[in-house]
Amino acid sequence: MRRKEREIKDPDIIHEILSQSSICRLAIHDEPYPYLVPMNFGYRNNALYFHCATGGRKLDLLKQNNKVGFEIEYDSQLIKGDVACQWTTKYRSIIGTGEMNIITNDDEKREGFDIIMQQHGKHDNTYIQAALDKALVLKLEINSLSAKQAGDW
């Protein structure tokens, strides 16, 4: 990281970013360009959980190469200045890499959905089997990450 003074090393702050953010952008290998997709997610135990349909471009690409990059932005705010060079952004963010696993087992899917729903404030979840049958859970095991911030926190 070029700007070492912006690096976040405190594991509690990193956990806060991971557990309180709502959107994660996934970079998935494709040719000739990466495929980038924003997704809702849940975080628990060094893993990010997502849900998706049982088919589509994202799933096809992950079956070919499950190594992904990700980015999470937390509480960003544009700070305006009097002149263009004085404008800045207050933010916290995480970038990282990991390996995505496709979860098809119903019990593990329910657990993944629970993690996603809890991230967004819903804790007493029931699921309709027909809906579960039309969905998969993706579990990204985090291999590496770095966290950064700018602005007054």
> What tens digit of pLDDT does each residue of 92-112 get?
999 999 999 999 888 999 999
| Six-digit token string for 55 | 């088919």
Percent of the chain at pLDDT > 70 equals: 98
> Residue ranges per domain, the chain?
4-150
Residue 1 has pLDDT above 70, yes or no: no
> What tens digit of pLDDT does each residue of 69-91 get?
999 999 888 888 888 888 888 99
Mean pLDDT along residues 36-65:
96
Q: Is the pTM of this model over 0.85?
A: yes
Average pLDDT, the chain: 92
Q: Which CATH superfamily is domain 4-150 in?
A: Electron Transport, Fmn-binding Protein; Chain A (2.30.110.10)
